[in-house]
Amino acid sequence: MNSEKIWLVTGASTGLGLVLVKTLLGQGHKVAATSRDGDALLDAVGAKLEGQFLPLTVDLANDRNVRRAVDATVAAFGRVDVVVNNARAACPGSLAELSDAQVRAAFDINVFGTLNVIRAVLPRMRAQAGGHIINVSSILGFDGGHAEWGAYSAAKFAVCGLTEALAAEAAAWGVRVSLVYPGAMRAGSPQDGGGSPERAARGAHAQEGGDVAKAAQALIQAAHAQYAPLHLFLGRDAFDQARGKIQSVQQELARWREMSVSIGFVDERRLAA
């Protein structure tokens, strides 16, 4: 494994982001990581690691703030090889009752924060003819059938759509793109992902969640794979839920095929012949 890769991880003070940063540093990678509170991030990581770790205080919804963070990363380490857009904002509640401000706040971080990072790093990756952008969505961004999580699902579905388009755009520049759908992570401290929307949505079944340390290692493996996955589901629950959604859509496609294809224009000349 190449210990000289430069990683930039957002949302790194808790959960998957924090575990990923600690794992990367332990493997000898150089890491820049963002949080709303850089001091809290440094405390959470628990190591100075001068020359290897760069904690950054960043408001991802602020485009200029994000660009300064990317500039600081390049100034410190010379380049950016792998970006993990992991920051998220949960938004529980009924769609009929959530305020406009609550929903917009969720989109500011989950969607526009991700876009801000992409816009800041992509020109640099294009110039260096390589890089890897990993956008962390959620299984709730693939299967939205969970009451009280509609706004969060909508934001994570948006991350999926923009990531698929980004993959099509960036391939010509040698930039790889991956879309990650984590399920519920194993119960534990907040740093272990114990309070995630994915766990909350699963309710009584949440105790079957995955190991956040293994999830972090899976992201590192994906970044070093010869052929990086575009779609990566993390956790047995996420895998099974995705397969169930696909099967359900396939069944409806078959059931309603005649109506779906019936709206096409009919060539009256061919019918007359």
In the set 5, 13, 138, 181, the catalytic residue is: 13
Q: Model's pTM, two decimal places?
A: 0.90
Q: What is the pLDDT along the chain (273 residues), one digit of tens a residue?
A: 445 799 999 999 999 999 999 999 999 999 999 999 888 898 889 877 788 999 999 999 999 999 999 999 999 999 999 999 999 999 999 999 999 999 999 999 999 999 999 999 999 999 999 999 999 999 999 999 888 999 999 999 999 999 999 999 999 999 999 999 999 986 444 444 445 788 777 665 555 678 999 999 999 999 999 999 999 999 999 999 999 999 999 999 999 999 999 998 876 666 565
Q: Going by DSSP bridges, is the β-strand pair 30-35/231-234 parallel, antiparallel, or unpaired?
A: unpaired
Q: Report H helices in 27-95.
A: 38-45, 63-77
Residues 6 or more apart from 12 whose CB is under 8 A from it? 18, 20, 21, 33, 34, 35, 41, 45, 86
* Catalytic residue status for 181: no
Distance separating alpha carbons of residues 35 and 14, to the nearest angstrom: 9
In the set 5, 22, 30, 152, the catalytic residue is: 152
How far is CA 7 from each of CA 20, 66, 90, 132, rounded to the nearest angstrom?
Answer: 10, 15, 25, 10
In the set 22, 35, 137, 178, the catalytic residue is: 137
- Sign of the alpha-carbon torsion through 165, 171, 174, 180: positive
In the set 22, 30, 156, 196, the catalytic residue is: 156
* Catalytic residue status for 189: no
Q: Smallest Cα–Cα separation from 160: which of 172, 148, 178, 185?
A: 178
* Catalytic residue status for 156: yes
Superfamily designation of domain 6-236: NAD(P)-binding Rossmann-like Domain (3.40.50.720)
Buried b vs exposed e over 69-106: b needs ≥16 C-beta within 10 Å?
A: bbeebbeebebbbbbbbbbbbbbebeeeebeeeebebb
Q: Where are the domains of the chain?
A: 6-236
Name the β-bridge partners of 233.
181
**Token representation of residue 250:** 């396939």
* Catalytic residue status for 196: no
**Side chain identity at residue 260, one-letter code:** S
Question: Cβ(80)–Cβ(133) under 8 Å?
Answer: no
